[in-house]
Amino acid sequence: MGLFRFLFAVAFFAGSAILWAADCKQQTVDAFVVKVHTGGDVFASGIRINPEQVVTVLHALPVAAELYVSLGGLRLKAELADSHQAYDLALLTLSSEQPLPEIAAYPRMLYRGLRQQESVWAAGVSPQGVQLRQGVFLRQKLSGVLSSADIEGGFSGGPLLACHRGEWMVAGLLRSYRVGVERGQLQRRGISTATPATALVKFLFLSEPQWAATPQ
């Protein structure tokens, strides 16, 4: 089907109000955030960008291992279609003998920069299902987009979201979280890093050149 099914939109709305998560529906996140099985009980999160493809983090994928994605009640085999080591991104293609279910709306990209202290939400898979963790945008560095959205193992590959006019917009792809040592134990510091949406868009253009010619 190709990445043209991924309905991006340029969101130049500087100065407009950012709405709370109550204006964006949890069930829409559940529809496009998926669980990527990477071996045994280990898993990561991913974003379903069209019926047949999922984008996730490259570092979570073991070499030469079979990959599966949970989609609704289905467990589908996935193959690595493309990757970018510097961006820590991987594009997976799902295999199914039957047509895969569509969802009402696939996530769109946030092209503008986040504003200081703007509310953001980290979405990822936990043993309890898809969860949202609220925080604020802190700053953007060469390493990525930093926010106070506290994440844990399994969230990597999920989206960092902003809510605008009742619609979730992808501001980045969650990649890591900061830890420190307290009393000899590793503790999360409540700061997460995401690959910015602009890098994700570049990666998808490189993966599917024909998508660039598709009207968005």
pTM, entire model: 0.81
More confident residue, 128 or 7: 128
Query: Does the pLDDT of residue 15 top 70, yes or no?
Result: no
Exposed / middle / buried, residue 100 (Cβ in 10 Å: 0-12, 13-18, 19+): middle
Q: What is the DSSP string of 86-132?
A: TTTEEEEEEE-SSPPPP-S---EE--SPPPTT-EEEEEEEETTEEEE
Question: In this structure, are residues 121 and 90 in contact, taking their beta carbons and an 8 Å threshold?
Answer: no
State which of 6-15, 53-62, 197-206, 207-216 shows the largest mean pLDDT.
Answer: 53-62
Determine the Cα–Cα distance for residues 210 and 194; give it in Å rounded to an integer. Answer: 27
- Contacts of residue 180, defined as CB under 8 A and 6 or more positions apart, other chains included, come to 186, 187, 189
Separation in Å, CA 182 to CA 151, 185, 188: 18, 5, 10
CA-derived radius of gyration, the chain: 16
Q: Is residue 17 scored above 50 in pLDDT?
A: no
- Compute the CA torsion angle 37, 104, 5, 176 (nearest 10 deg): -40
> Which domains, ranges and CATH numbers included, belong to the chain?
7-30+106-203 (2.40.10.10), 32-104 (2.40.10.10)
Which stretch, 13-27, 103-117, 132-146, has highest mean pLDDT? 132-146
Strand, helix or coil for residue 145: strand
Percent of the chain scoring above 90 in pLDDT: 42
- Reported as a single tens digit per residue, the pLDDT across 163-211 is 887 889 999 999 987 555 556 655 556 789 999 999 998 998 887 654 4
- The C-alpha atoms of residue 191 and residue 183 are separated, in whole angstroms, by 20
Can you tell me whether residue 81 is helix, strand or coil? strand
